[in-house]
Amino acid sequence: MESATIREVQHNLAAFVRRVEQGEEIEIRRRNKVVARLVAGGGAALAGRKVDWAAVGERRKRLWGGKMAPGKPTSEIVYESRGDR
């Protein structure tokens, strides 16, 4: 994956967008730390991409072991945010 500084992207945005349209992904760095990633947008551009859900499961196990993730369940948060609707 290509990487570029914020300054490079600011000065050459059109060129970076063309490269992304052709399928490249570009990491944007500030002080040698990745702060963003420039990727193709839209359903058609991402339709062929596969998501590796196995990596998510492994990360979850590493973070919380066999326990539930801390905090409220998403359903409870949604219910509270809706109020009396």
Using alpha carbons, list the distances in angstroms from residue 45 to 6, 37, 40, 55, 59. Answer: 24, 15, 6, 23, 27
Q: Give the per-residue pLDDT at 44.
A: 53
Give me the CATH number covering residue 7: 3.40.1620.10
pLDDT at residue 17, rounded to an integer = 92
Q: Provide the domain limits for residue 39.
A: 2-73
pLDDT, tens only, 46-55:
566 677 777 8
pLDDT single digits (tens) 13-32: 999 999 998 889 999 999 99
Is pTM beyond 0.75? Reply is no
Tell me the CA distances in angstroms from 77 to 64, 68, 73, 83, one per residue in order.
20, 16, 7, 10
> 80 lies in a domain?
no
The SS3 call for residue 68 is coil
Distance (Å, whole) CA 51 – CA 37: 16
Residue 18 falls within a domain, yes or no? yes
Number of structural domains the chain divides into: 1
Q: Are 26 and 2 in contact (CB under 8 A)?
A: yes
